[in-house]
Amino acid sequence: MERLEKLLERLDYTVVQGSMDIEITELVYDSRKVTPGCLFVCIKGTAVDGHTFVQEVAAHGAAAILVQEDVEAPENVTVVKVKDSRYGLALLSCAWFHYPAEKLKVIGVTGTKGKTTTTYMVKSILENAGYKVGLIGTIEAIIGDEVIPANNTTPESWIVQKYFQQMVEAGCQCVVMEVSSQGLMMHRTAGIPFEIGIFTNIEPDHIGPGEHSSFEDYMRCKGLLFRQCRVGIVNVDDKHWQDVLKGYTCTLETFGFAREADLRAENPQLVKKPGYLGVSYTAQGLVNMDVEIDVPGKFSIYNSLTAIAICRHFQVTKEDMKQALKVAKVKGRIEMVKVSDEFTLMIDYAHNAMSLESLLTTLKEYEPARLVCLFGCGGNRSKLRRYEMGEVSGKLADLTVITSDNPRFEEPQEIIDDIKKGMARTNGKYVEISDRKEAIRYVIANGQPGDVIVLAGKGHEDYQEIRGKKYPMDERVLIQEVLEELKAL
């Protein structure tokens, strides 16, 4: 229970009707979850407008309602008006959970790519140095020993604050979280005193109906983080970084390959052994040390450099950083799975043309004997994605194995046929094997010395969605089953 006036202490508001001197039993923003004595926040969404439920929530016992538009409400209900009810929900949530973020060092990572990997690297380094670290991201939230699968990259503000409170109770000292442009635009992170904000990179993405109106708007939303953090750490190699940082209020540090970067990577080398791909480089500037990571590609250098730039603020030793970077793994992001001493197999979440092209281009730099790409595309999604992914794999892979992903309500063969239309624009060789486990068996059984094999598209997902139902399907499990079955032959 909290007094309404106390909950609103950090908001500018107008009392439209009723008393402020009331006890609130719960904070609710979903009309189906209204309970007697609660404060209901009317959120104006793209599909549903909470303001239309005022009479209904009042009938179910809501004691107070927060609005951003004029509404008709029964006399016995307190109505409070704010400029933006999403922003209102965020600050109310901070107050409801007693400002848990102020008891934590909160690290926010924003950018088009690299957010997920960077957050796991930071968590790995800080934990290696003895900190207890919470995580909120695209794949999951991690609170102590509890792992909660994620629906959004940045959850609704009430959920973020609830997680923070649970992290404080679990003894966490820091939390590292992915901060999406959508999350910033929708005020899900409002009221959080970020210790450190990170900008990885930006590319035109998430632009269209229900997302960002333009690339300029996308950059503006990313930049909001740097008016809300104490220290900003930015990738100076990204040509848009100054546009993103417009109006920043934080202390600034830079990283990258550029000479002017405060922390820079020098002498990058590809590291290649049977069943293993990685990179090494020397960090210079704010931290001077040699680094090797078990994840291939230039972007791995950026991700690890970001993690080093963050963790030096926590007085982590170079040895701790080196050790932690060697073992930092992200489920489904260039995740190596050892199946042979002769060839390399990995799982990756690349599920659109841009991410698949980036991945395959990176792997080609290692000059594999053959680059084999296994993937499918989701049903009830854009056909254009299928054509584009087929074309990318046809151009870059030596062999493509076209299989099933999440067919949803479509026939797997129809999706495969669409991918083949993209393949037809290239001279790429392919085989089609609709059953994903059989496709995995094929690439493992036919792996040749020096091959690099990628299972793309599923990544961290451990299910397959068919006709509205999710069935368990984890590629790591399928690989082990295939290995055992091949051994038994």
The string of DSSP letters for 340-395 reads: -SSSEEEEE---SHHHHHHHHHHHHTT--S-EEEEE---TTS-HHHHHHHHHHHHH
DSSP-derived secondary structure letter, 195: E
Bridge partners of 177, per DSSP, are 108, 136
Please give the angle made by the CA atoms of 403, 359 and 452, to the nearest 5 degrees: 70
Place of tokens 């509205």: 468
The tens digit of pLDDT for each residue in 275-286 reads 789 999 999 999
Banded pLDDT at 273 (limits 50, 70, 90): confident
The tens digit of pLDDT for each residue in 2-23 reads 999 999 999 999 999 999 999 9
Q: Determine the Cα–Cα distance for residues 47 and 106; give it in Å rounded to an integer.
A: 32
The tens digit of pLDDT for each residue in 194-252 reads 999 999 998 765 455 556 668 788 888 899 999 999 999 999 999 999 999 999 999 99
The tens digit of pLDDT for each residue in 279-325 reads 999 999 999 999 999 999 988 999 999 999 999 999 999 999 999 99
Bridge partners of 265, per DSSP, are 283
Backbone φ and ψ for 136, nearest 5 degrees, come out as -130, 120
CA nearest to 285, candidates 246, 258, 252: 258
Cβ density class 83-94: b for 16+ within 10 Å, e for less? eebbbbbbbbbb
pLDDT at 357 over 60: yes
pLDDT at 143 over 60: yes
Q: Where are the alpha helices (DSSP H) in 32-171?
A: 54-59, 85-96, 115-128, 157-169
CA nearest to 75, candidates 54, 102, 105: 54
CA nearest to 138, candidates 111, 165, 169: 111
CB 408 within 8 A of CB 378: yes
- The distance of Cα 460 from the centroid of its chain, to the nearest Å, equals 12
CB 351 within 8 A of CB 455: no
CA nearest to 364, candidates 301, 446, 238, 272: 272
CB 49 within 8 A of CB 118: no
The tens digit of pLDDT for each residue in 35-50 reads 999 999 999 987 899 9
**3-class SS at 145?**
coil
**What was the pLDDT predicted at 18?**
96
Q: Determine the Cα–Cα distance for residues 136 and 153; give it in Å rounded to an integer.
A: 8
**What was the pLDDT predicted at 218?**
83
Q: Determine the Cα–Cα distance for residues 460 and 300; give it in Å rounded to an integer.
A: 18
**What was the pLDDT predicted at 276?**
85
CB 405 within 8 A of CB 458: yes
CA nearest to 488, candidates 437, 451, 480: 480
Say how many CA atoms lie within 13 Å of 291 toward its Cβ.
Answer: 32
Which H or E run contains 327? Answer: helix 318-327
Place of tokens 């930092």: 328
State how far the alpha carbon of 394 is from the alpha carbons of 80, 149, 413, 455, 458, in Å: 58, 34, 18, 15, 19
Give the amino acid at 245: L
- Lookup: tokens for 100: 């848990």
**What was the pLDDT predicted at 204?**
63
Banded pLDDT at 182 (limits 50, 70, 90): confident
CB 134 within 8 A of CB 319: no
Of 101-105, 171-175, 378-382, 422-426, the least confident: 378-382
Give the amino acid at 370: R
CB 180 within 8 A of CB 110: yes
DSSP-derived secondary structure letter, 52: G
- Lookup: tokens for 281: 């480089």
Place of tokens 């008393």: 19
Q: Determine the Cα–Cα distance for residues 160 and 16; give it in Å rounded to an integer.
A: 29
